[in-house]
Amino acid sequence: MNFRRIATPGILILAVVAAAFGWIRFVAHPKPVACGYCSRPLHANSIVTAEIDGKRTQVCCLRCAITEANQLRKPLRVITVHDYSTGAAILSPETAWYVEGSRVMPCEHGVMHMDEAKKPQTMVFDRCSPGTMAFATRQQAEDFTETNGGATISFGQLMSEAHYQ
- The nearest distance, CB 154 to Zn ion, in angstroms, is 23
Among 42, 50, 62, 64, binds Zn ion (CB under 5 A): 64
Nearer to Zn ion, 38 or 79 (CB): 38
- # binding residues, Zn ion (CB under 5 A): 5
Residue environment code for 59-87, b if the CB has 16+ CB neighbours within 10 A, otherwise e: bbbbbbbbbbbeeeebebbbebbbbbbee
Q: Name the residue among 83, 55, 101, 91 with its Cα closest to residue 140.
A: 83
In whole angstroms, what is the distance from residue 104 CA to residue 149 CA? 9
Which range, of 10-18, 56-64, 71-79, 132-140, touches Zn ion by CB under 5 A?
A: 56-64
- The nearest distance, CB 107 to Zn ion, in angstroms, is 6
Q: Would you tell me which residues interact with Zn ion (CB under 5 A)?
A: 35, 37-38, 60, 64
